[in-house]
Amino acid sequence: MNAVIASPEHFRTLRIRLLAGRGIEPTDAQGQPRVVVVSESVAKQFFGGRGALGQRIKQGGAGVEGPWLTIVGIVADVRNDGLRIASRGTMYVPLEQWDTSAAWLMVRSETPLEQLLPLLRRETAALDRNLPLADVTTLDDALDESVAQERFSMLMLGIFAALALTLAAVGIYGLIAYSVAQRAQEIGVRIALGARRADVLGLVVGQAMRLTLLGILLGTVAALGSGRLIASLLFEVEPGDPSVLAGAALLVAAVALLAAALPALRAAQTEPRVALSEG
């Protein structure tokens, strides 16, 4: 379980939702009853949910010397250890009731960090000239750093996926164009016997889409079988998510349709006399 020493504005600054009870307040000071706010997972694990309000806990368990803390609030879980690591649960204790030699200063502002930093240093020095201000960064930068490897891996996968999609489109175009050229006489006969150009268009596109459907089926089976290989790169998305697979299938089908469109249009515009004479 993580322990966080927090000020009254901690939850509002980080936009951590209050689910039950209250947050930390200015009145939670030295000499007042010791209180604690716990995350939802802690409340469920030890007290079955919102029944945790009013219960008492101490960090480390019953055999540890230390004050008992009364639970006054429950907040949503936060991933303190990274996106890939599930929350271990957190207890938040009031800053005024605990002694600490170091603390994180959280600031919510629309001002860019390079403009805000001088103000932060000035205000910190006003409190204590000997108080250092180090490791200043934004939460966005901290998040980017924590997932940099995963983002690079997904970028490379995206590039290879785009190349594979391009190769598939070129392959479908080449195959259908070759098929149309080989069947030029047949298509000319069909048109001469009264086939509508829309029928020819449907014939050629249908051939392309049948091949595409077979590829989608094989690709779906491969994706389901290899999904665990990329599971560590995903966040709140299951490798076999039906909506993701359906979206990928629709994308491949759309690309295949576009790739087959040009040969199909050429086939539909075939002149029977020319096709038969060439045959």
Rounded to the nearest 10 degrees, the angle between the axes of helix 148-182 and helix 197-226 is 150
Q: How confident is the model at residue 69 (pLDDT cuts 50, 70, 90)?
A: very high
Q: Tell me the per-residue pLDDT of 84-117, one tens digit each, with 9 for 90 and over.
A: 666 778 999 998 888 777 778 888 888 888 888 8
Distance CA 72, CA 36 (A): 6
52 assigned to some structural domain:
yes
Looking at the fold, whether 111 and 206 belong to one and the same domain comes out as no
CB 151 within 8 A of CB 158: no
Indicate if 180 and 274 belong to the same structural domain.
yes
Query: Looking at the structure, do residues 162 and 69 belong to the same domain, yes or no?
Result: no
Q: How far is CA 172 from CA 46, 80, 82, 143, 270, in A?
A: 59, 48, 43, 41, 20
The answer to whether residue 264 is domain-embedded is: yes
Scored b (16 or more CB within 10 A) or e, 61-99 reads: eeeeeeeebebbbbbebbeeeeeeeebebbbbbbbbbee
Give the pLDDT confidence of 18-31 residue by residue, as tens digits: 999 999 999 998 88
For 234-276, what is each residue's pLDDT tens digit?
666 676 778 878 888 898 888 888 888 888 887 777 666 655 5
Co-location of 167 and 60 in the same domain: no
Is residue 22 one of the residues assigned to a domain? yes
Q: What is the mean pLDDT of residues 37-66?
A: 81
Identify the helix (H) or strand (E) that includes residue 39: strand 35-39
Q: Are residues 152 and 246 in the same domain?
A: yes
In this structure, the answer to whether residues 272 and 171 fall within a common structural domain is yes
Same domain, 88 and 191: no
pTM more than 0.75: no
Count up the domains in the chain and report the number: 3
Pair (69, 123) in one structural domain: no
| Burial zone of 53 (CB within 10 Å; 0-12 exposed, 13-18 middle, 19+ buried) | middle
Domain residues for the domain of 41 are 1-97
Q: How many CB atoms lie within 10 A of CB 144?
A: 12
Instruction: Name the residue among 278, 221, 272 with its Cα closest to residue 249.
Output: 221
Residues 228 and 169 in one domain: yes
115, 82: one domain: no
Together in a domain, 116 and 209: no
Give domain status of residue 102, yes or no.
no
Paired tokens of 273: 């006399």
232, pLDDT greater than 70? no
| Domain match, 186 and 269 both | yes
Give the residue-averaged pLDDT of 112-141: 84
